Amino acid sequence: MTDSSPGDKPAVKADQASRPYSPGLEGVIAGETSLGYVDGERGRLTYRGYRIGDLVAHGSYPAVANLLWTGDWEPNHRLPTAPIPPAVLAVLRALPATTKPMDALRTAVSAWGTTLDLPWPPTVDQARALTSFSPSALAAFARLRAGQEPIEPDPSLDLVEGFLYQLTGSRPDAGTARALDAYFIVGAEHGFNASTFTARVITSTRSDIVSAITGAIGTMKGPLHGGAPSEVVDQLSQVGSADHAEAWVREALAKGERLMGFGHRVYRAYDPRAAALRTVAEGMAHKPDWLQLAIEVEDVVLRVLAEKHPDRPLKTNVEFYAAPVLMGVGLAPDLFPATFSLARHAGWTAHALEQAANNRLIRPDVNYVGPPERDLPS
């Protein structure tokens, strides 16, 4: 224990009042990265300098994950899903029927860590192994809760195709796999968001990569971080048809509700991930039913939001088009946050590698606002 000891100096430090404090660390620069760059003003997102739209058009999730881990662009890089160790499968089988997907994924990752020796610093091989394990675990959980047996990975399939195969028992058509792969690419990395920061804090203590990703999943479980696409589905089903969109939108805004899939803390322009996903969804052979409705609702929402907030640009964010893509590939809405976590494995693990490569224990200071040093009551 080094946090407090008898004889500490008075708790309130003399320089505390003069030091800047930003609730939620907003605006605080807490690290350096060469992985992803979010340019909110211009609506740009790059991974290692490459534009997200180009990565979606010409890459695949395994190639993008490899780019984040190594810095090398190898468009044909492959990464099949990995088998589940028997001890982890036993844990998944033992979970209560009421277990939520994010809890199952967090537990499976943690259990996977007990089956391996994962020394610090983390390695690209560790990142790869974990990223290829987790889709198998989520697919097995989804099948077990439906009373079905898990399916072994097919090493001839790439990660996202393999995940869908292990989920459904049949090989997805190319368009479906491509659409989910695009979702995985746009979800792979997004700067110092809360879960990524968690992964870096844990890594900075020289704890292992599994602890870092288990913590990150726990952070993403919070509805302020990982919950919006299923809420977009709820709102689109309430709208029902394009003719009702305008009345529904105006009524929701009059009640002070937020329209899911619009606005962003960082982007002031159209979210480039939304644009990339819309293009992919439009190219799907079996166009998701939700897509046409989403496109028509989007037009109305953008017009009404611009009218209500002429000085604050409120544009479409990634979650809006994530919803039709995820519905279109046939995922149950309660699997959306855990699927987002699978996609973010590439970014989380890349940040763990980057943190370890130039490590400094992350340990900020805090303003003490309690009572001054005093004697215990006698």
Per rule CB under 6 A, is residue 312 in the interface with ligand COA? yes
Sign of the CA dihedral with 142 first, then 143, 147, and 153 last: negative
Whose Cβ is closer to ligand COA: residue 27's or residue 377's? 27
* Nearest to 40, CA basis, from 173, 176, 193, 174: 193
Q: How far is the CB of 297 from ligand COA (least distance, A)?
A: 13
Determine the angle formed by the axes of helices 336-357 and 61-70, rounding to 10 degrees.
20
Whose Cβ is closer to ligand COA: residue 261's or residue 324's? 261
With CB under 6 A as the contact rule, the residue among 167, 314, 343, 350 that binds ligand COA is: 314
Q: How far is the CB of 98 from ligand COA (least distance, A)?
A: 27
Determine the angle formed by the axes of helices 318-328 and 174-187, rounding to 10 degrees.
150
* Nearest to 249, CA basis, from 268, 231, 264, 236: 236
Per rule CB under 6 A, is residue 133 in the interface with ligand COA? no
Concerning whether 319 is annotated as a catalytic residue, the answer is yes
Concerning whether 58 is annotated as a catalytic residue, the answer is no
Residue nearest to ligand COA according to CB distances in the complex? 263
Whose Cβ is closer to ligand COA: residue 52's or residue 210's? 52
With CB under 6 A as the contact rule, the residue among 13, 42, 93, 309 that binds ligand COA is: 309
Q: Does residue 121 have a cis bond before it (omega within 30 degrees)?
A: yes
Segment 246-305, which members bind ligand COA (CB under 6 A)?
258-265
Distance CA 191, CA 50 (A): 14
Q: How far is the CB of 363 from ligand COA (least distance, A)?
A: 28
Of 10-18, 171-179, 202-210, 316-324, the window that binds ligand COA (rule: CB under 6 A) is: 316-324
Of 49-57, 242-250, 281-289, 315-323, the window that binds ligand COA (rule: CB under 6 A) is: 315-323
Whose Cβ is closer to ligand COA: residue 119's or residue 222's? 222
Segment 318-347, which members bind ligand COA (CB under 6 A)?
318-319
Backbone dihedral region for residue 7 (phi beyond 0: left; psi -120 to 50: alpha; all else: beta): left
Segment 211-250, which members bind ligand COA (CB under 6 A)?
228
Q: How far is the CB of 272 from ligand COA (least distance, A)?
A: 12
Residue that has been written with the tokens 């292990």 in this structure: 166
Residue that has been written with the tokens 């968001």 in this structure: 193
Q: How far is the CB of 249 from ligand COA (least distance, A)?
A: 9
* Per-residue 3-state assignment (H helix, E strand, C coil) for 206-241: CCCHHHHHHHHHHHHCCHHHHCHHHHHHHHHHHHCC
Distance CA 369, CA 182 (A): 47
E strands, the chain, where? 36-39, 44-47, 50-51
Of 124-132, 235-243, 308-316, 325-333, the window that binds ligand COA (rule: CB under 6 A) is: 308-316
DSSP class of residue 114 equals T
Q: How far is the CB of 243 from ligand COA (least distance, A)?
A: 21
Q: How far is the CB of 301 from ligand COA (least distance, A)?
A: 8
Per-residue mark of binding to ligand COA, 81-110 (x: CB under 6 A): ------------------------------
CA distances in angstroms from 342 to 76, 124, 134, 174, listed in the order given: 20, 17, 7, 20
- The total of other beta-carbon atoms located within 10 Å of residue 373's CB is 10
Q: How far is the CB of 26 from ligand COA (least distance, A)?
A: 10
**Exactly one of 161, 189, 231, 264 is catalytic; which is it?**
264
| Partners of 324 in the β-ladder | none
Check if the beta carbon of residue 114 is closer than 8 Å to that of residue 87.
yes
Task: Report phi then psi at 179, rounded to 5.
Answer: -65, -45
**Exactly one of 189, 298, 319, 354 is catalytic; which is it?**
319
Of 27-35, 59-67, 171-179, 309-317, the window that binds ligand COA (rule: CB under 6 A) is: 309-317
Per rule CB under 6 A, is residue 197 in the interface with ligand COA? no
Q: Which residues are known catalytic residues?
A: 264, 319
Q: Which residues bind to ligand COA, rule: CB under 6 A? A: 228, 258-265, 309, 312, 314, 317-319
